[in-house]
């Protein structure tokens, strides 16, 4: 065959859902892109990202600016799989031969919604039902014989993984497909509930802090979060969108990928870094002291000044932090606040405390 036909069959092809009551925001049918690999029993389902909207105003604006994130009508017939979706071993040494399924994000609800479009609301929010229906329709394409289903997702899709991975597992098990091992891979969906660097109102999607945003969205989307997490947050179920809260409740093995200084986290924390430019006040807001030690507690230890990251101890870092809070714009450049170990094994930092010197907790 020619190079171009070879290239073509590497592309993923669009398939609209057979059940057309499961829709994008505007009522158009949701769907997925698929590249089958008959010789493989591995299935990768990847949830796309792209923020969200949580009000008539913000969704109308989203419709005008990024329609493909709310409607399937502008979707192309094929898409190229890149990175973990690539069928080329040189681009994807991990899973190049797997069955690849890309789920475009068109529900604007962090893949959590269960609400069909009604006359008055104007938009549907069915993210969670889209995943369910895609899994259901893939069963007849060989997913029923799979060994592993990896539910992956990026940014908003990474939140979608945390919120949906156990539901997918339960869906397969209840239909008798317990032979399929369900796993999660969440990329950049681990968001912290920080106070904003600068208080923002909630009129825009991006100026709204993490908690306010999710509180509003949860109701607007008719969000479904996992039962176990919901039970422990009755009346405040929106907390279950956040990694540190939902993760301990997830049963399926789930791998979390996250940049130390995540841009989406910075954006919703109102740390404006347009053009990669950041002020000293903003940089100090994201201070961190993280030595690679097997240990617990530090600040009341007698040796707390001897643990160092890159030559800086915690008392020194705290001193720097105080200075940075006093003179927001003063120069504290030689006073470090971002201290993360580079070595990777337990106690690879030579200043780690001796574990035999640590109290056991029973003393
Ligand atoms: C608590 C939920 C916060 C979710 C943040 C999602 C961020 C996102 C889009 C990406 C490009 N930068 O979806 O980012 O498409």
Q: Stretch 166-183: mean pLDDT, rounded?
A: 97
Determine the distance separating the centroid of ligand 1 and the alpha carbon of 319, expressed in angstroms.
34
Question: Poorest-confidence range of 102-111, 179-188, 237-246, 297-306?
Answer: 297-306
DSSP per-residue letters across 44-95: EEEE-------SHHHHHHHHHH-GGGT-STT--SEE---GGG---TTT-TTT
Quickly list H helices, the chain.
3-8, 56-65, 127-138, 156-174, 210-221, 227-232, 243-246, 263-268, 280-285, 314-326
Q: Which of 28, 108, 112, 155 is catalytic?
A: 155
- Using the mean position of ligand 1's atoms as its centre, give its distance from the Cα of residue 308 in Å: 34
| Mean pLDDT of the region 148-159 | 97
Sign for the CA dihedral angle at 292, 298, 302, 304 comes to positive
Cα(179) to centroid(ligand 1), Å = 33
22-26, 114-118, 154-158: lowest mean pLDDT where? 114-118
pLDDT score, position 356: 66
Q: Provide the pLDDT for residue 3.
A: 46
In sequence order, the 6+-apart residues with CB closer than 8 A to the CB of 61 are 53
Cα three-residue angle 274-75-115, rounded to 5 degrees: 85
For residues 218-244, average pLDDT: 95
Classify residue 9 as left (phi > 0), alpha (psi -120 to 50) or beta: alpha
First to last CA, the chain: 74
Weakest mean pLDDT among 92-101, 130-139, 319-328: 319-328
Question: Residue 1's pLDDT is what?
Answer: 41
pLDDT number for residue 130: 98
Q: What pLDDT score does 360 carry?
A: 57
Mean pLDDT of the chain: 91
Q: What is the pLDDT of residues 252-275, one digit of tens each?
A: 999 999 998 888 988 888 887 778
pLDDT at 359: 59
* pLDDT computed for residue 20 by the predictor: 95
Using a 10 angstrom Cβ sphere, with 0-12 exposed, 13-18 middle and 19 or more buried, the burial of residue 361 is: exposed
Q: Output the ligand 1 site: residues, CB below 6 A.
A: 49-51, 110, 155-156, 159, 191, 210, 214, 241, 264
Q: Does the pLDDT of residue 349 top 90, yes or no?
A: yes
Alpha-carbon distance 103 to 320, whole Å?
Answer: 46
Per-residue confidence (pLDDT) for residue 296, from 0 to 100: 81
Atom of ligand 1 nearest to the CA of 191: 1
Give dist(CA 186, CA 159) in Å, integer.
7
**Mean pLDDT along residues 79-83:** 96
53-75 pLDDT, tens per residue?
A: 999 999 999 999 999 999 999 99
CA distances to 56, 232, 278, 287, 314 from 299, rounded to whole Å, are 48, 31, 30, 17, 8
153: pLDDT strictly greater than 60: yes
Phi (first) and psi of residue 185, to 5 degrees = -140, 105
d(Cα 18, Cα 26) in Å, to the nearest integer?
A: 17
- Confidence at residue 162, expressed as pLDDT on a 0 to 100 scale: 98
> Which pair of structure tokens corresponds to residue 231?
């039970």
Is pLDDT at 363 greater than 50 in this prediction?
Answer: no
Q: Tell me whether residue 296 is one of the annotated catalytic residues.
A: yes
326 vs 327, more confident: 326
Residue 331 known to be catalytic: no
* pTM for the full predicted model: 0.88
Distance CA 188, CA 153 (A): 8
Length of the chain: 363
State yes or no: is 187 an active-site residue. no
**What torsion, rounded to 10 degrees, do the Cα atoms 163, 91, 13, 79 define?**
90
Residue 289 pLDDT greater than 60, yes or no: yes
Query: What is the average per-residue pLDDT within 227-242?
Result: 95
Token pair, residue 187, equals 């990329």
By the 8 A CB rule, do 24 and 129 touch?
no
Ranking 74-83, 124-133, 166-175, 336-345 by mean pLDDT, the lowest is 336-345
Of 17-31, 34-48, 289-303, the range with the lowest mean pLDDT is 289-303
Rg (CA), the chain: 23
CA distance 233 to 256: 23
The pLDDT of residue 146 is 98
CA dihedral 217, 223, 229, 234 (to 10 degrees): 70
- What integer pLDDT is reported at residue 8 of this predicted model? 46
User: Cα–Cα distance between 238 and 242 in angstroms, integer?
Assistant: 8
């Amino acid at each position: 065959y020619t190079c171009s036909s070879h290239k073509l069959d590497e592309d993923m092809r669009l398939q609209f859902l057979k059940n057309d009551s499961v829709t994008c925001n505007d009522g158009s049918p949701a769907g997925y892109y698929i590249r089958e690999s008959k010789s493989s029993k591995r299935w990768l389902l990847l949830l796309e990202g792209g923020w969200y909207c949580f009000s008539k105003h913000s969704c109308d604006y989203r419709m005008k600016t990024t329609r493909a994130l709310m409607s399937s009508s502008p979707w192309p017939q094929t898409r190229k799989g890149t990175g973990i979706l690539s069928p080329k071993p040189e681009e994807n040494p991990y899973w190049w031969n797997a069955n690849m399924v890309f789920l475009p994000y068109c529900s604007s609800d962090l893949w959590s919604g269960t609400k069909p479009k009604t006359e008055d609301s104007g938009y549907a929010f069915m993210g969670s039902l889209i995943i369910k229906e895609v899994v259901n329709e893939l069963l007849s394409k060989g997913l029923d014989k799979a060994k592993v289903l990896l539910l992956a997702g990026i940014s908003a899709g990474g939140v979608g993984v945390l919120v949906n991975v156990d539901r997918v597992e339960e869906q397969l098990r209840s239909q008798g497909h317990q032979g399929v091992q369900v796993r999660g891979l969440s990329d950049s969906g681990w968001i912290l509930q920080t106070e904003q660097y600068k208080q923002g109102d909630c009129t825009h999607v991006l100026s709204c802090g993490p908690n306010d945003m999710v509180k509003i969205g949860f109701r607007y989307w008719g969000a479904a979060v996992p039962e176990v997490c919901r039970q422990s947050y009755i009346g405040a179920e929106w907390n279950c969108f956040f990694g540190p809260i939902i993760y301990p409740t997830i049963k399926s093995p789930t791998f979390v990928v996250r940049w130390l200084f995540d841009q989406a986290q910075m954006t919703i924390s109102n740390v404006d870094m347009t053009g990669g430019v950041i002020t000293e006040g903003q940089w100090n807001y994201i201070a961190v002291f993280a030595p690679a030690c097997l240990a617990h507690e530090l600040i009341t230890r007698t040796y707390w000044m001897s643990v160092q990251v890159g030559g800086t101890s915690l008392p020194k870092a705290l001193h720097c932090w105080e200075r940075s809070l006093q003179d927001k714009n003063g120069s504290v450049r030689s006073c470090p606040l971002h201290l993360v170990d580079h070595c990777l094994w337990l106690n690879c930092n030579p200043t780690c405390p001796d574990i035999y010197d640590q109290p056991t907790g029973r003393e």
